[in-house]
Amino acid sequence: MSWFGAIFILTACTWTGFEVAKKLTERPRQLRQLKVALQSFEAEIMYGMSPLAEVSEKISKQLPDPVAHLFRYFSSQLKKGECEASEAWNQSLDKTWPRTAMGPQEKEVLKQFGMTMGKHEKMQQQKHIRLALVHLEKEEQEAKEKKMKYEKIAKTMGFLTGLLLIIILI
């Protein structure tokens, strides 16, 4: 086996470990951004008179991607007017979710929140937003714990897997 092949294997495995670690790091950050977005959403619903499409577009401009992309897509779906808010929200989740580092638990929380969107009066909608925020807070704490526990392990395992493959192939 050539040195070039060994270096390639080691680099690829190490890179994979770092990508796994990056996803563990991104998840809590994206959850915080999502919570901020929902808090902004709540404020706009309670104190503003703007339609959902405008509120979503405004929120998307305040956040970085991929969370901003969720609200941008939701806004565009609402502006098309082809479906109601809950359906547009679910389509937005399905379209943008692969770009995020978040898991199925967070998606389920947001889908449940989306089922209530645009169907209740302000106070009831605020309760649903706060419920979603509580669930996302719990998920964020779990994500932080998982990051602390597994981030370093993922990086190390990537490197060690590369070394193991090199030894096996020698």
Residue ranges of the domains in the chain? 3-169
Task: State the Cα torsion 14-18-24-28 to the nearest 10°.
Answer: 170
Question: Cα–Cα distance between 30 and 153 in angstroms, integer?
Answer: 21
Average pLDDT value for residue range 145-155: 90
Residue range 31-59, pLDDT digits in tens: 999 999 988 888 888 787 777 888 888 88
Please enumerate in sequence order all residues whose Cβ is within 8 A of that of 25, keeping only pairs 6 or more positions apart, or say none.
Answer: 147, 151
pLDDT tens string 71-98? 899 888 888 877 788 888 888 888 988 8
Give the global pTM.
0.81
